Amino acid sequence: MFVKPRIIIVLLFSICITYGQNYRSVDEIKDDWLEHTKFQKQELLSFCDFLINEGHYERALLSLFQYLYKFPNDSLEVPILYHIARNYDLSGNPILANRYYDEVINLTDENDRVYKAAYYRKLLINYYQEDYDVILEQTENETDPYLIIFRGYIFLNDLQWVAARQAFLSADERFRHRHYSSLIAPIMQTIDNAAEVPMKNKWQTLAASIIPGGGRAYLQEWGNAGGALASFFLVASLASSNTDLNQSGDLSLTDNRNELIPQGAGYQLDSNKLPNNPSTYGLPDNVKLSSKNKYLIYAPIALSLSIYLGTILKTYQDVDNANQLLFRNHIRTAIEKTPIDSFMDFMEPNLVEN
């Protein structure tokens, strides 16, 4: 009679053991969830990194904001914010880029590499926007070679040869690496060769200006030279054109000398004879008109002279600008060969660890 209770007890015990083996604690569930969340993070970060490398910046921005929404207060929040700013920068939106660079700067310490990267990128935006005064003010007395490079390029653009040379030499000493020395060397050569740029002489410009448009041609301003020459000859042709007057109606004027011959009709006197004295009609017997109006030539002559003399004066005043343009063309080649971005190889935060 005790067999059945024993069987029931054994079955219950077996069931308890079986279910006890499949039981998972709260900590185990949390660990599994963390593993799943970590996998989701890595997948999303890898996707963002892929989009950035392929140049799909707008889609990358959506994924980066999605990461911040799904994982608030994450340890990668600052690097994510940096890449949001970087994507705005690469997509041509400097206003939003600066906003997020500022947010990164405010959330990090100045010795942090993310802080420095955001600061350099912010200055680079200012450089391309030609906010040179802002950069010079923020980088004054700095010893960071990257910041000194900014100063060197600004001095170079402003044609301050001595200051530019000192800045690049100082940066080269602080980098202490032949990679940067190879970048700085051609820039230094360009600065040294600035003295050999052929300058335009003001007196030679005046001599060339004797011919209308010649001064502009000497300054190699071909468009202005052609315009000055055409304007001068157009006005000169008006001055030398025929100034004859033509009058329509019953009274006509011919070439240089004309006579107005009054003719009467319907006059009848008692004696059927006209008076011998023409003054009886109240008209002159001979009227001479000149077909040349000397006043018509004064305005074109004055206009052509004003254009001629004005062109000479303006050309003389523009010699300094022309020489400055020659210097800018000289440095443009060096800047195009070695743009400032060539030096911007500082450490930046990665989305995916290599």
Q: Are residues 66 and 178 in the same domain?
A: yes
Structure confidence at residue 192 (pLDDT): 83
Q: Are residues 73 and 180 in the same domain?
A: yes
The total number of residues shown for the chain amounts to: 354
Structure confidence at residue 41 (pLDDT): 81
Q: What total of structural domains would you count in the chain? A: 2
Cβ contacts of 19-22, under 8 Å, gap ≥ 24: none
Domain membership of residue 46 (yes or no) is yes
Q: How far is CA 197 from the centre of its chain?
A: 25
Structure confidence at residue 224 (pLDDT): 66
Q: Please, which residues have CB within 8 angstroms of residue 76's CB and are 6 or more apart in sequence?
A: 41, 45, 67, 351
Structure confidence at residue 258 (pLDDT): 43
Say which CATH number the domain at 128 has. Answer: 1.25.40.10
Q: Are residues 118 and 206 in the same domain?
A: no
Low-confidence ranges of the chain (pLDDT < 70): 1-37, 195-229, 231-301, 303-304, 307-308, 310, 312-324, 326, 353-354
Domain membership of residue 67 (yes or no) is yes
3-state class percentages of the chain: helix first, strand second, coil last, to nearest 5: 70, 5, 30
Structure confidence at residue 282 (pLDDT): 53
Domain membership of residue 300 (yes or no) is yes
Neighbours of 12 (CB within 10 A): 10
Q: Nearest 10 degrees: CA dihedral of 15, 19, 20, 23?
A: -170
Domain membership of residue 349 (yes or no) is no
Q: Please, which residues have CB within 8 angstroms of residue 201's CB and are 6 or more apart in sequence?
A: 319
Structure confidence at residue 218 (pLDDT): 56
C-alpha neighbours within 13 Å on the C-beta side of residue 325? 9
Rounded to two decimals, what is the model's pTM?
0.64
130 torsion bin: left (phi>0), alpha (psi -120 to 50), beta (else): left
Q: Is the dihedral of CA 81, 86, 92, 98 positive or negative?
A: positive
pLDDT tens across 172-212, in order?
Answer: 999 999 999 999 999 998 888 876 666 665 666 656 666 66
Q: Are residues 172 and 48 in the same domain?
A: yes
Q: Are residues 70 and 95 in the same domain?
A: yes
Domain membership of residue 256 (yes or no) is no
Q: Are residues 119 and 228 in the same domain?
A: no
Domain membership of residue 310 (yes or no) is yes
Q: Are residues 147 and 229 in the same domain?
A: no
Q: Are residues 100 and 136 in the same domain?
A: yes
Among candidate residues 142, 304, 182, 175, the one with its CA nearest the CA of residue 239: 304
User: Domain limits at 218?
Assistant: 200-242+291-317
Q: Are residues 180 and 213 in the same domain?
A: no
Domain membership of residue 44 (yes or no) is yes
Q: Are residues 125 and 222 in the same domain?
A: no
Domain membership of residue 354 (yes or no) is no
Q: Are residues 297 and 156 in the same domain?
A: no
Q: Are residues 53 and 187 in the same domain?
A: yes
Structure confidence at residue 269 (pLDDT): 52
